[in-house]
A and B are shown apart, each in its own frame.
Chain A
Amino acid sequence: MSTSDVPSILLLENSPTLRKWILTMLALRGIRVLLADNDADVFRKTENTKISLMLINLNSTGLDGLSFTRKCRQCERLRNIPIVLLTSSTESCAQRHEFIKAGADQCMMIPLNESTFVKTVFQYIKPSTIPTAH
């Protein structure tokens, strides 16, 4: 498998602590991560790179969850890329339901739990597509 075929996750997470935690969790499993600085960067970074999953912390987008999700789903390039939103308890169940209706695939509550996080990521990235370390 060439490097360009390796599935990548696009991560938008402004908390340095959480970002490093996620990067560590994914690096341990051989998953490549592309970092976005803000919501505009999400659109720029996905122009020339194949992305298998977008992990987006709503607090980092500068948009509300509905607007961000709709904007992604209106973009031809991002229409079919799974979106997992990292949400907090400040978003109600009803709000999270609205995000899903708008096109997000899943909401994951912060603080993240390692086993739930990894299980969720592997729903969208099949382990067989990740090169094994030799």
Chain B
Amino acid sequence: MQHRMGSHSLLLDEYLDEFEDLLSEIEQTFLDLEENSSQEHLWDCLMRNLHSFKGSAQLMGLDPIVSVAHAMETLVSQCRQQGENIDSAMTELYFHCVDVLRDLADELGVSGTCYHDVSPVLRKIDEIVLA
């Protein structure tokens, strides 16, 4: 299914700049947490950035991006609540999500449309969250 923006297409340049800025920060914070998951401010920063990331996508009506960001939030929130360390499997899944998000942004930049199927990555996250 394609997700085309409606009346917000005029915001696309701002959105794509913000997308990359926030995603880069999210990536870096995740890597920092992998090194040291006891730093509460890093978890706060990650949650805040993920939430802003999702909020902008919601405003733009980009459901596939919202879904992936929401799943990433759920995953991080569960990991934090359970006091788990970030292991290599989780890191791999997280960066797979980041890759999927960048694919979506590329599609958006080129055609103004998101058509990448995000259901496989959402299923993978569900498997971990519901395990």
* Chain B residues with CB below 8 A from A128, complex form: none
Q: Is A3 part of the contact surface with B, judged by Cβ < 8 Å?
A: no
- Please, how many angstroms separate the alpha-carbon atoms of A63 and B10 in the complex? 31
B115 to chain A, nearest CB (A): 21
B52 and A15 within 8 A (CB): yes
Tell which of B14, B15, B58 touches A111, judged by Cβ atoms closer than 8 Å. B58
* Chain A residues with CB below 8 A from B8, complex form: 21
Given known A-B contacts A16-B17, A21-B11, A90 and B48 have beta carbons under 8 A apart = yes
B55 and A110 within 8 A (CB): yes
Q: Is B67 part of the contact surface with A, judged by Cβ < 8 Å?
A: no
- Please, how many angstroms separate the alpha-carbon atoms of A20 and B12 in the complex? 10
A48 to chain B, nearest CB (A): 29
In chain B between 29 and 74, which residues have their CB closer than 8 angstroms to a CB of chain A?
47-48, 51-52, 55-56, 58-60
9 contacts between A and B (CB under 8 A): A15-B18, A15-B52, A15-B55, A21-B11, A59-B51, A88-B55, A90-B48, A90-B51, A112-B59
List the interface of chain B (C-beta within 8 A of A): 8, 10-11, 14-15, 17-18, 47-48, 51-52, 55-56, 58-60
